[in-house]
Structure 1
Amino acid sequence: MRTFVHGAETWGVARPPRPSRVAGVGMAGFRVRELDGLRMVPHPAVTVLLEFGAGSPVVVGPDGDRRCGSVVAGPGTGAGGGVRAWGENVECVQVRLSPVIARAVLGVSPEGLDGAVVPLDALWGREASRIRERLGELPSWQARFALTDALLARRYGAGPAVDPEVAWAWHRVVAARGMIRVDDLAAEVGWSRKRLWSRFRSQLGTPPKRAVKLVRFDHAAHRLVAGEGAARVAADAGYADQSHLHRDVMAFAGTTPGAVTAEPFLAVDHLAWPGRGTFTFAAGTPDRTARP
């Protein structure tokens, strides 16, 4: 486990020794003494938080609803900076699922998760409490990652695949870092814009135009955290100008491009998801297979 220090905050961060057996899955382990209103920054993935420690995190949404324990968050959750987490002595395995595989792993379409945080037991029932108990009994992070990976692989193998065209369209969006038009995506898969919008949203949990903006924002935000200037990032990431970048960062993160670099949720990524960049583990070479 490595140490992440950000201002007054110190976290322990663990990484699996090898990639998941399921393409489109990323995992990291966290041990945090205190979460004091951590802002959740939108990410182009479905996030599953499997907590098992002595403490219990509490996630509070923009409407004030409180979600305790293990939760699932849809792609783009946290827009406007309206989702925050609190807790003491938190230990958890955080899983990021490509939207292409999320329906199979979760057992439900991510469409109902769009921008929402849902208790895991609402989706998995008693299995959510069983996985919490088993994670808490294991002696090491590597054993916890192995258990989690086996669980995800089993659920993925039994779940429904998305349409090949939808999977291909998602991979194109990620490979292009959000710099692609929805009309072009529809033309490439041979569908109407309306059909692509409907299938994409129902199977991946977000409409294609929002997916394009979310992937572009995620790429730009990580470049800002890496220390690149806003003007250069705006030009390279496909924004019309620096003001356009400013508006998108404010809409997604609830803060300015200059201030977003101070968000621990983003700054920890170089340890928790090294080399991943803009959710690249869900990208690769686009193909027309139903499973990435």
Structure 2
Amino acid sequence: MAGFSDRSAEPLDLAVVPDPSVMIAFEFGDGLLVGHADGRRQRGSTVLGLAPGGLRVRGRGIECLQIRLSPIVAHAVLGDVVTAAGERPCAGGAMVALEDFWGPEARRVEERLRSASSWRERFAIADAALQRRYAAGRHVSPEVAYVWRQMVLRRGQIRIDALAAEVGWSRQRLWSRFRAQIGLPPKRAAQLLRFDHAAHRLAAGHSAGAVAAESGYADQSHLHRDVLAFTGVTPAAVAAAPWLAVDDSAWAVAGPHHALPGAHHPLSGAGASPSRSSASMPR
């Protein structure tokens, strides 16, 4: 989890780079607005599902605590709920008010975060809320959790049929269970993990050709098509994306660890001042 305070004179306006996590953004300031290219808008505390392409974060005077959860953890923390909009919490592109999943508890946590005197206290409040939800929630099946973790370890470069064989399931059964519990089909999830690795390598200054070769793409054109599909922009634009620029500082591996089993990597932007608290949940 990471906390952000935007005290700059200029309003924040930046594109969200898709990430292999389900994001919870607790807003306890006045200005957070998440907008989608299709015209949808969401104010206040929001849940963003996997691969949320076409999203922009806007606002002024934002005070926000952002949490990135592995989808195998988000399944328990958010619940297997279908909202009035027909969206599940992990579903690709989902953008739903946190209150739709947590009910009145979402408002209670917001108020406690707003009245807290420090980021350390806010992290502790959020951590306790996540712990409660995770302990009481319904967890994904061990087979699905195993497949996801193997995908993460291989950065998406693994055959789905081989994973199905490892857990003793048919390809069709894995596809169905994985999509229902993770939010994306296995192939799309693998593509997202591969893209995430490539995007951060591009942001670190590596050439598109080198990134394509080490990330498992057939060639540079293949990388270009994947980046365009996930973000709508070129690899060069992703390399300079402000959203990725704060990842190393806001979501570094080093730092204090809690007992919560799997949050990772941000909300970011010029003028945003991040504070960080890491967690030890499996990705």
Same fold (TM over 0.5): yes
Aligned to 1:74: 49
**Structure 2 residue 181 is matched with structure 1 residue 203:** yes
Aligned to 2:80: 108
Question: 1:121 aligns to what?
Answer: 99
How far does residue 109 in structure 1 lie from its aligned partner after superposition? 5.3
* Cα displacement string for residues 220-255 of structure 1 (whole angstroms, at most 9, x for unaligned residues): 000000011111110000000000000001111111
Aligned residue type for 1:47: M
C-alpha contact (below 8 Å) 1:109/1:202 kept by paired residues = no
**Pair 1:282–1:132, CA change in 2 (3 A):** closer
Q: 1:282 to 1:200 in 2, by over 3 A?
A: farther
1:125-164 counterparts in 2 under 5 A? 125-164=103-142
> Which of 92, 96, 118 pairs up with 2:68?
96
- Using the size of structure 1 for normalisation, the TM-score is 0.82
3-state SS of the aligned residue for 2:80?
coil
Does 2:214 match 1:239?
A: no
- Tell me the distance in 2 between the aligned counterparts of 1:247 and 1:162: 32
- Post-superposition offset of 1:75: 0.7
Give the aligned partner of residue 36 of structure 1. Answer: 12
Cα separation, 2, equivalents of 1:242 and 1:107: 39
Post-superposition offset of 1:124? 1.2
Q: Distance in 1 between matches of 2:143 and 2:11?
A: 40
Amino acid at match of 2:52: T
Percent identity among equivalent residues? 57
* SS class of match (2:34): strand
**C-alpha deviation, 1:108, in angstroms:** 2.3
**Structure 1 Cα separation of the partners of residues 133 and 14 of structure 2:** 30
CA RMSD of aligned residues (A): 1.7
Is 1:173 the counterpart of 2:151? The answer is yes
Residue 189 of structure 1, CA deviation: 1.1
Q: Distance in 2 between matches of 1:282 and 1:273?
A: 10
| Contact kept? 2:47, 2:96, Cα under 8 Å | yes
Give a deviation string over 1:71-118, Cα, whole Å, max 9, x none: 00101112xxx2111100001110001001111100225872321210
CA distance in 1, matches of 2:263, 2:137: 18
- What runs of 5+ residues in structure 1 fail to find an aligned partner? 1-26, 284-290
Letter in 2 for 1:91: E
Q: Distance in 2 between matches of 1:181 and 1:209?
A: 9
The reply on whether 1:257 has 2:235 as its aligned counterpart is yes
The alignment partner of 2:125 has SS state of helix
Runs of 4+ more than 6 Å apart:
none
Deviation, structure 1 residue 35: 4.6
Q: Report Cα offsets for 1:236-281 as digits up to 9, x if no partner.
A: 00000000000001111111111111211111100110138xxxx6
1:187 aligns with 2:165: yes
Structure 2: how far apart are the matches of 1:282 and 1:149? 10
Q: 1:200 to 1:282 in 2, by over 3 A?
A: farther
The aligned counterpart of 2:192 is 214
Q: 1:142 to 1:185 in 2, by over 3 A?
A: same
CA contact (8 A) 2:26 2:46 kept: yes
Change (3 A) 1:189 1:228: same
CA distance in 2, matches of 1:128, 1:28: 18
Distance 2:14 2:124 in 1: 28
- Partners of 2:67 and 2:211 lie apart in 1 by 28
Instruction: Report if the CA contact (8 A) 2:81-2:101 is conserved.
Output: no
Q: CA deviation at 1:130?
A: 1.0
- Does the Cα contact within 8 Å between 1:102 and 1:109 map onto a contact in 2? no
Give 3-state SS (helix, strand or coil) of 1:84's partner.
Answer: strand
Hey, what's the Cα distance between the residues in 2 that align with 1:90 and 1:37? 11
Q: Are 2:46 and 1:46 equivalent residues in the alignment?
A: no
Unaligned runs of 5+ in 2: 255-261, 265-280
- Report if the CA contact (8 A) 1:104-1:156 is conserved: yes
Shift in Å, 1:56: 2.2
Q: How many pairs were matched up?
A: 251
Partners of 2:165 and 2:11 in 1: how far apart? 46
Q: Give deviations 1:4-50, integer Å, cap 9, x for gaps.
A: xxxxxxxxxxxxxxxxxxxxxxx001112355331011110000000
